[in-house]
Amino acid sequence: MEKGLFYPEFFIKVGDETMEVFGRDSDDEPDRVVQVRGKGLDHILPRVESALGGPVERGKLLPVARELGLRLVCYALLVDKIRCAGGIENAAEWTVSVNDIEIGWWLSWINRPDARERTIRGLRILIGVVK
């Protein structure tokens, strides 16, 4: 995450067991920002496909709206190392229902290295990912 989380363009690449989220500045090659796997992928992929209007082609780098890209970055950070299906489901539901301003606010704090871990932990508690 050298360039931070706020890229002007986002892409996803869905495999059999992972979804990678990439960000890109101008004409540069996309940078992998985060990865979702396991139960986290199972809970968010149907919502992504719904947002995109149909099934996602596996193995292909697909452009997504910036708002969706930012939501997926936030989601991936929330469910990283979480095993509780209920908590992951709460994170998936929050990710698609919260407004863009709130996503941006949380990501602005997560993007700060001195506040990243505390912010992620606080958000996980707030939305019921962990107790």
What's the pTM value of the predicted model, to 2 decimals? 0.91
Among residues 21, 10, 109, 127, the alpha carbon closest in space to that of 66 is found at 10
| pLDDT for res 28 | 82
| Angle, CA of 14, 19 and 24, to the nearest 5° | 90
Q: Which DSSP state fits 116?
A: H
The residue extents of the domains of the chain are 9-127
| pLDDT for res 5 | 80
Contact, 12 vs 56, CB < 8 A? yes
Contact, 70 vs 87, CB < 8 A? no
Q: What is the pLDDT of residues 73-88, one digit of tens each?
A: 999 999 998 989 999 9
| pLDDT for res 3 | 55
Those residues of the chain that have pLDDT short of 50 are 1-2
Q: What is the pLDDT of residues 57-66, one digit of tens each?
A: 999 999 999 9
